[in-house]
Structure 1
Amino acid sequence: MTNKAVALSLLMLAALAGAAQAAPTRKESWGKPGISYLKYRTDAADCLHYVETQAPVKLPLVDVVFEMDMAVDPEGGLNAMYAYADQQKLHMNRNWREVRRQATGAVETCLAGRGYTRFKLTKAEREELEGLRVGTPARQLYLWRLGAEPR
């Protein structure tokens, strides 16, 4: 895998987590009543693959590399990048927002095609969600539980 592919893959994963969990605003999420957690996570992985093939993200590599402030090793670099992102608790910035902008349409198409619909989060749900870090199992379980309940 090339340096560019590794870097963009990390950015895409983070952006998709945000897009799939809170698109189009932080007041909404996606759900499918009655879905099992296994199917929910499988659909997330399938939609990631769909977006990678249907909406390839374009960012200047120099922006990605300077943002990371680390050397990218093409051999095993993905694990190092995940560790770096976790350690630095990377925040949404211009590059992350651009990845999200480019990927959102494909994410929404994929989710809708699998029977998911948007639903509004209550104020209490939004507040609890804010306390759960993006990409963590606790956040994934919380959003699955909300989305799997009939509204």
Structure 2
Amino acid sequence: MLRCLTAVLVLLPVAVGAAERPTLSWGKPGVTLETYRADAVECGREGYYLDISNTDAAKVFKDASRQLENNEASLGMTGGNLDRAMQIANDSGRIVERTRPAERMKQVRTLLQDTVAGCLRARGYSQFQLTHAQRQYLKGLKPGSLERHAYLHGLASNPAILAAQHL
């Protein structure tokens, strides 16, 4: 049960927010492809390795997990009592509802994104928004491919694009 809840908590905000966000990227006029890739990896690592264990969101998830585990343990002690099992299920639902998982995951996502953004800004990068035509072209390129990296670098290092599409 806890594993299912964890999967829902992780996937829900991705599914909810995916269609709403514009396509954004980071650029720096004249940056070489090598530096662009190295900076992306280093700043991505800062976000990846950020310790979020003491954030409010993590504390709420830990507390909810403990409560759900206690409920799950007491389910085994119901001895076939359907009313007690239903009460435990209702209690578990309320625990999840109070946790507000989508909101908590958004808080964590924002913290991680802010960490990466701060790293990139410190290295002289600024954020820009891709045009509709650029987004359409990008969709045709395989994620992780050299062609995709080269295309994004071409946009991200072009001073005219950065000036026109700067956020």
TM-score, normalising length from structure 2? 0.47
For residues 4-39 of structure 1, the C-alpha deviation after alignment (integer angstroms, 9 at most, x for no partner) is xxxxxxx9xxx9xxxxxxxx9433211111000000
Aligned length: 95
Name whichever structure is richer in helix by fraction.
2
- Of 138, 142, 146, which aligns to 1:133? 142
| Cα 1:43/1:138, change in 2 over 3 Å | same
- Of 7, 20, 34, which aligns to 1:38? 34
Runs (4 or more) in structure 1 with deviation over 4 Å come to 55-60, 97-102
Aligned partners of 1:28, 1:131: CA distance in 2, in Å? 17
Gaps of 5+ in 1: 1-10, 16-23, 61-93
Within the alignment, does 1:103 sit opposite 2:120 as a pair? no
Q: Confirm or deny: 8 A CA contact 2:22 2:129 kept in the other structure.
A: no
Tell me what 1:142 maps to.
Answer: 151
| Cα 1:50/1:32, change in 2 over 3 Å | same
TM-score, normalising length from structure 1? 0.51
Aligned-residue CA RMSD (Å): 3.1
Tell me what 1:49 maps to.
Answer: 45
Percent identical among aligned pairs is 35
AA aligned to 1:148 is S
Aligned partners of 1:25, 1:144: CA distance in 2, in Å? 21
